[in-house]
Structure 1
Amino acid sequence: MHASEIEAASTHKTNPMVETSTLWLDAQESGEIVYFLFQSPARLERYNLTTETWLSSITLSDTPTAFTVDADGLYIAFSRRVSHFQLDGTSETHLRNTDTDIKSLHTIGAYLYINYSSYPYGKLVSVDKISGTFIDSKSYLYDVLNGSSVAPSIGKLFARTSGISPSDIVQVILNTDGTLGSSTDSPYHGNYPNATKTYVFPGDGRVVDSAGIIYNASDLTYSNSFAGSVNDITFYEDLPIVLRGNKLIAFS
């Protein structure tokens, strides 16, 4: 892949509350809004990409540990419980408790997938994302799911394993009725560098891990490489833009 580099610059419009705080725990985009999750103080900051303005903060009643967002609301985990909120942060509805800390949350259609993996198990539970009605749960021995991401159009969750050596990238089938299927790893167990996070490409055809190795989402066979680590990634249409250290690298 052809790459061009630029130094990451601080040319964005600032929000004093963000600038004086510690780094955010997670950031996600839905529609025209980017949401930034903070633990201290516990809150969400929101930035409108269309108007290029900061919206009012959403104060949270407890310390958050993970979140996701879609057109139907905010889904926020507080250690071992998860709640649904309206997009403005109002109307909290308790959805589910877990027996270990929640690592990540994902939605596809009507379902919320809760990743509460804890060695030696990768643990998932699916619920109705509005009511919290239980759908399914599964544990995957030695597939502790770190840095998970989902490909909604093909019904898959991707993650990197940990706690065993060598680690690998794995996929879990997410059935259309919200039930959970089997997990499988790549054909290259241990052949590529360790990684801690995964990112799905637009169109759900490929997935890349934080080591920069790109896999086909259909079967986790090798597709390509960014020839270096990935601290974060976004896309301009189908073109990847990778954050590596203090550099943004655009690939074509």
Structure 2
Amino acid sequence: MAQPQWPVHRISAASTGAPWQSSTNRFYHLQTHLTPMIPSPAFIFDNIAPVFFYAGIIVFAMSGGLRAIQAEMDLFGVLMVGFVTAAGGGTLRDILIGSVPVNWVVDPMPLAIILPAALTAYGIQRIGWEQRQIFNWIDAIGMSVFCITGAALTVEMGLHPVICIMMGMITATFGGLVRDILCNVVPLVLRQEIYATAAMLGSTLYVILQQFDMDRSVSALVGMSAALILRGVAIRYKFNIRGNAGEAPPQMFERHE
């Protein structure tokens, strides 16, 4: 990442005063002619974006671990499902836009974060809160972050706005779709709960604001907030398109002991 170029005015002899002026006057002129070195919004976004990216990886890996524990998988299953949940959406997105090798192959840092994050699911399930609520809220945070990271990447590549929205949705939902299939649960994105709609709302708002040259950090915060609020309302008030969101997630196939 390129180092930021701070906007600073150069100080001339005329601006600081002649040598015979008092030091107090020279200091006063120096203060009034220096531009405050405040980071630009783009610089702030470029440095905060990786934080959001890794936060999304962590919470999605945790949601995968929780779902695997609910499915009574062993340690390897917890790690595998956590990895698929956190990396699946970004992997498919990178393949579709031709960004290969994919991110986690080039930079193994996400792997070093995903696996420990998936293991934290063992601790989360013991805190006493109803597991389905824990899973839903953690998953909602990951979805709201990833729908923006996926859209932001493709906007920077100059792709068509519709494609950018689709890539945001894919990044946010595909990992969870594979997670639920592996755990024998009908995926959230294919059920009547408001999930894909929230991801689409977040990525759409980001892309639209970027079309109007809105600051990237503002666009990202608006999109993430909208996606999280809509999904949060659906979780809190059991609001969905149809049916009862409070029911246990249906299994795709019956288990046979």
**Which structure has more helix as a fraction of its residues?**
2
Q: Assess same fold via TM > 0.5.
A: no
Q: Which has the higher contact order (CA 8 A, sep 6+)?
A: 2
- Structure-1-length-normalised TM-score: 0.25
**Which structure has more strand as a fraction of its residues?**
1
Structure ID, larger Rg: 2
